[in-house]
Amino acid sequence: MITRHPRQAVGAVLGVMAVSLFVSSMIGQFNDGPWGGLPSWLGAATWAAFLIAAVALVVLAAYLTAVNPGSRRAAR
């Protein structure tokens, strides 16, 4: 799936990053954000999801570069 549809894989990881960063920023660091009434563990969990997705994006980019090194030359 990743090598057939790399844009979907990267898009999914970027989507997880965007949603988790948005939710964690709306909760705030000390539950002082607009959504501060939510549990504090949710802010920590969404921040951890953002960091894991960032690492996954770097690994995915490295994998796609290693799998298709000549794809740009073949497409021309």
Q: Is residue 4 part of a domain?
A: yes
Phi, psi for residue 58 in degrees, rounded to 5:
-65, -45
pLDDT digits 0-9 by tens, 14-51:
999 999 999 999 998 888 889 989 998 999 999 999 99
Count of structural domains within the chain: 1
Q: Is residue 1 part of a domain?
A: yes
Q: Is residue 72 part of a domain?
A: no
**pTM for the predicted model, two decimal places:** 0.82
Task: Report the distance separating Cα 13 and Cα 20, nearest Å.
Answer: 11
Q: Is residue 51 part of a domain?
A: yes
Task: Report the distance separating Cα 1 and Cα 64, nearest Å.
Answer: 12
Q: Is residue 73 part of a domain?
A: no
Q: Is residue 76 part of a domain?
A: no
What's the domain range around 54? 1-29+39-66
Beta carbons of 26 and 34 less than 8 angstroms apart: yes
Q: Report whether pLDDT(74) > 60.
A: no
Q: Report whether pLDDT(2) > 80.
A: no
- In whole numbers, what is the pLDDT of the chain averaged over residues? 88
Q: Is residue 61 part of a domain?
A: yes
